[in-house]
Amino acid sequence: MEPDQRKESDDQDSEWVLFTNVDEKTFTRDFFNFPDKTLARTWNAFDKFQNLLLVTMTESTPHAIASQTFDEVLTDILTEMGLKRMLVHFGRSPRKGEEGAKAPDASYMPKRPPRGWPKDWPSMVLEANGAVKIALILCIERQKPELAIEKWVRSSTGKPRCEQRVVVKKFDDNIIVRGSPLKIEFENLFLRESHEPEERDILFEDEELKYLAGQVWQRQGFCQAKDHE
């Protein structure tokens, strides 16, 4: 197992280390099933075909805040719709699939999934890849106040594709949102068709997206709390 020596383009220290030449047996023994949970939580993604292992040395505070705030906003929206108790939050539970394994920042599935759906397998994950209905990727700029959310889905051929990209930027005192609202289809999240009027697609409107970005930027030092209240 060897660390990849590639550096980020901005030449800043990164919270990520990429190891090469990691076979599936080594990954399963030393990370996925390792009894020491502290070490087990450090890995983020494993590609068994390319023998690559991505490890988090220390999770950045903006990264953690972004994940927590997204979960907070999603819960608020579901509460308003009367659907809060219909969804199970798994948190950072690791998942293994055909291509490897991933430890998402957050994962969700309906409390009553349809017959045949794999046990404890999420319908939506935050920052992940794999055989799920929706994968949301949070992209946080380190040099400027800009945040993007990409929604990835499976195409008809089974290949992942980016279906939507929402960008939130701050220029002086102005916050600009492009590509909104972020749309999470009810059927893809709850794995069934809607039956009641309140059972509709979940929409992250500009207000929620600005709040999410503002929480991250405040920690990064790009704005004060009052700028996004």
**Whole-number pLDDT of residue 57:** 57
Q: Which domain holds residue 41?
A: 2-56
Q: Tell me, what's the pLDDT at 99?
A: 61
Q: pLDDT value at position 200?
A: 94
Task: Let me know whether 101 and 10 are in one domain.
Answer: no
Whether 31 and 69 share a structural domain: no
Query: pTM of this prediction?
Result: 0.70
What's the angle, vertex CA 155, arms to CA 76 and CA 131, rounded to 5?
65
Q: Please indicate, yes or no, whether residues 28 and 75 belong to a single structural domain of this protein.
A: no
Only one residue has tokens 């790009």, namely: 222
The residue among 10, 30, 56 that closes a domain is 56
My answer on whether 16 and 72 are in the same domain is no
Predicted confidence at residue 149, as pLDDT, reads 94
Q: Do 27 and 106 share a domain, yes or no?
A: no
**Contact call for residues 22 and 1 (beta carbons, < 8 A):** yes
- Kindly give the parts of the chain with pLDDT less than 70: 1-16, 34-42, 44, 56-60, 92-93, 95-100, 102, 127-131, 225-229
Neighbours of 30 (CB within 10 A): 16
Residue 36 is predicted with a pLDDT of: 60
Closest of 138, 47, 57 to residue 98, by C-alpha: 47
Q: Is 198 left (phi over 0), alpha (psi -120 to 50) or beta?
A: alpha
Q: What is the pLDDT of residue 5?
A: 42
Quick one: pLDDT at residue 61? 75
Q: Which residues contact 142 (CB under 8 A, 6 or more apart)?
A: 10, 12, 220
CB under 8 Å to 183, separation ≥6 — which residues? 151, 164, 201, 202, 203, 204
- 68 and 20 both lie in a single domain: no
Q: Do 17 and 38 belong together in one domain?
A: yes
pLDDT of res. 158: 75
Mark whether 40 and 91 lie in a shared domain: no
Question: Could you tell me if 90 and 148 lie in one domain?
Answer: yes
| Chain centre to alpha carbon of residue 130 | 12
Residues 51 and 70 in one domain: no
Q: Both 38 and 75 in a single domain? A: no
Which of these three, 28, 56, 84, is where a domain ends? 56
Q: How many domains does one find in the chain?
A: 2
Same structural domain for residues 66 and 115? yes
